[in-house]
Amino acid sequence: MYDKIRKAVELLKGSIHAIAFTGAGISTESNIPDFRGNQGLWRKFDPKMASKSYFKEDPDGFWNFYAQRYEAIAKAVPNEGHRVLAKLEEIGLLKYIVTQNIDRLHIKGGSKSVIELHGNILMSHCESCFSEKFTDECIEEFKKNGKAPRCKYCGDYMRPSVVLFEEPVRLIDLAMEIACRSDYCIVIGSSLVVYPAALIPEIVKRQGGRLVIVNLEPTPLDCIADVVINERASVVLKKILEFL
């Protein structure tokens, strides 16, 4: 593993515009389950529960799913992996983080330039008039009466301001423009099976950049990566900082 980490560090130090692309795997060490790993959410729940059509069809069931997810996210704190990425940004080696995660742990961990392709779970909004409310408050309301929270202005249902399945991702144009400018991408904790998000590391590589993948399990982009490290994110990132 250490030879691979040394190679990842050498490529990083030789880069001019490096980015990180992260998925749920960087947050499992903060006790937030991922989706497709061996304890992943989609092994227990149907992914349709995170879809727009399910929210429309059964708002109470939708909020019941999110209330369970929210428990883990609300308690979570950034782990060593988040902190190392913030440090790499601070010393100028990392320009952006493009994340699929909605847990805001990169920001809490000190990173500044974070692009949240799937939004984040801090706020919720009304499906009709877009009035906003903290998701915390919506969850409390749901827990109190077991009913989906409603907008106090127009009475329609509130929903977390995250990207649901069947909705377009956010800032994808900006993320792609940044990927086109990057000559190094380190992927951390993503199965790289969800598009268009997974295009980001692919664009960096296909236009001549370097691709490093840190993931416990194989991914579809391993075959084009310069370095693949199948180890825990926090262990690898700590070593990357050490080997700089």
Helix, coil or strand: residue 175: helix
Query: Applying CB under 6 A, does 55 fall inside the site for ligand APR?
Result: no
Extract long-range pairs of 126-132: CB within 8 Å, 24+ residues apart.
126/151, 126/153, 126/154, 126/156, 126/157, 126/158, 126/159, 127/55, 127/151, 127/156, 127/157, 127/158, 127/159, 128/154, 128/156, 129/153, 129/154, 129/156, 132/161
Give the strand order in the sheet containing 96-99: 114-116, 96-99, 18-22, 184-188, 210-214, 227-229
Helix, coil or strand: residue 173: helix
Q: Which of 25, 78, 149, 160 is the binder for ligand APR (CB under 6 A)?
A: 25
Q: Write down the catalytic residue from 17, 82, 118, 125.
A: 118
Q: Which is nearer to ligand APR, 121 or 151 (CB)?
A: 121
Q: How far is the CB of 29 from ligand APR (least distance, A)?
A: 5
Binding piece for ligand APR, criterion CB under 6 A, among 68-76, 120-128, 186-194, 203-211: 186-194
* Main-chain dihedrals φ then ψ at residue 8, nearest 5 degrees: -60, -40
Query: Applying CB under 6 A, does 229 fall inside the site for ligand APR?
Result: no
Q: Please state, in angstroms and rounded to a whole number, the distance separating the CA atoms of residues 156 and 141.
A: 14
Q: Which of 122, 199, 216, 241 is the binder for ligand APR (CB under 6 A)?
A: 216
Q: Which is nearer to ligand APR, 155 or 220 (CB)?
A: 220
Q: Which single residue is written with the structure tokens 């144009």?
A: 173
106 is catalytic: no
Q: Which of 126, 233, 237, 240 is the binder for ligand APR (CB under 6 A)?
A: 233
* Residues between 85 and 144 with contacts to ligand APR, criterion CB under 6 A: 100, 118
Q: Which is nearer to ligand APR, 100 or 120 (CB)?
A: 100
Q: Which single residue is written with the structure tokens 């906003």?
A: 132
Tokens in use for 13?
A: 């130090």
Query: Cα 32 vs. chain centroid, distance in angstroms?
Result: 11
Q: Which of 78, 109, 160, 189 is the binder for ligand APR (CB under 6 A)?
A: 189
Binding piece for ligand APR, criterion CB under 6 A, among 5-13, 24-32, 179-187, 205-213: 24-32
Binding site for ligand APR (CB under 6 A): 23-25, 28-29, 34-37, 40, 100, 118, 189-191, 194, 215-217, 232-233
